[in-house]
Amino acid sequence: MLGNPYDRDCPTRQLLDRIGDQWTVLIVGALRAGPLRFTQVGKRVEGISQKVLTQTLRSLVRDGILVRTAYPVIPPRVEYELTPLGRDLAEPLDMLDRWARHHMDQVTAARAAFDAEHTPASA
């Protein structure tokens, strides 16, 4: 049960629960280049809804990955930025990114081959 690196309470599982959703990874990636305002993040991460953006941003702040800075001006200006911890996390995430760029074509090829194999075209 416990003690096994794959059981429910291990750090890896917990991290996975956090970064498991692609939004987190994408947001952290988007912020690597520097702070961004709420709307800017939303634009970089295409397809994310406002609600989910808000939720994800908030939980990343909660986890110490991002800092939120609200400037008391009108209209409101809020910026999100990676913390040192966040920048730290960005590194392994970047490795994944590199892997994707280097190997996704292999995955695509494997997928096509598998589908061909399992799709009796000449039925």
Partner DNA sequence: CAGTATCCCCGATGATACTG
Partner DNA sequence: CAGTATCATCGGGGATACTG
Instruction: Name the site residues for its own copies (rule: CB under 8 A).
Output: 1, 4-8, 10-22, 25-26, 29-30, 44-47, 61-65, 85, 88-89, 91-93, 95-101, 103-104, 106-107, 109-111, 113-115
* Cβ atoms of residues 66 and 86 within 8 Å: yes
Distance CA 75, CA 79 (A): 13
> Residue 78 binds which one of DNA, its own copies, none, with CB within 5 to 8 A depending on kind?
DNA
> Residue 115 binds which one of its own copies, DNA, none, with CB within 5 to 8 A depending on kind?
its own copies
Question: Who contacts 5 (Cβ-Cβ below 8 Å, separation ≥6)?
Answer: 12
Q: Which residues bind DNA (CB under 7 A)?
A: 21, 23, 37-40, 47-52, 54-55, 57-58, 68, 70, 75-79
Query: Please, which residue, 63 or 81, has the CB nearer to its own copies?
Result: 63
Report the SS3 class of residue 46. coil
Tell me the two tokens of residue 44. 């970089």
Query: Please, which residue, 20 or 98, has the CB nearer to DNA?
Result: 20
Report the SS3 class of residue 85. helix
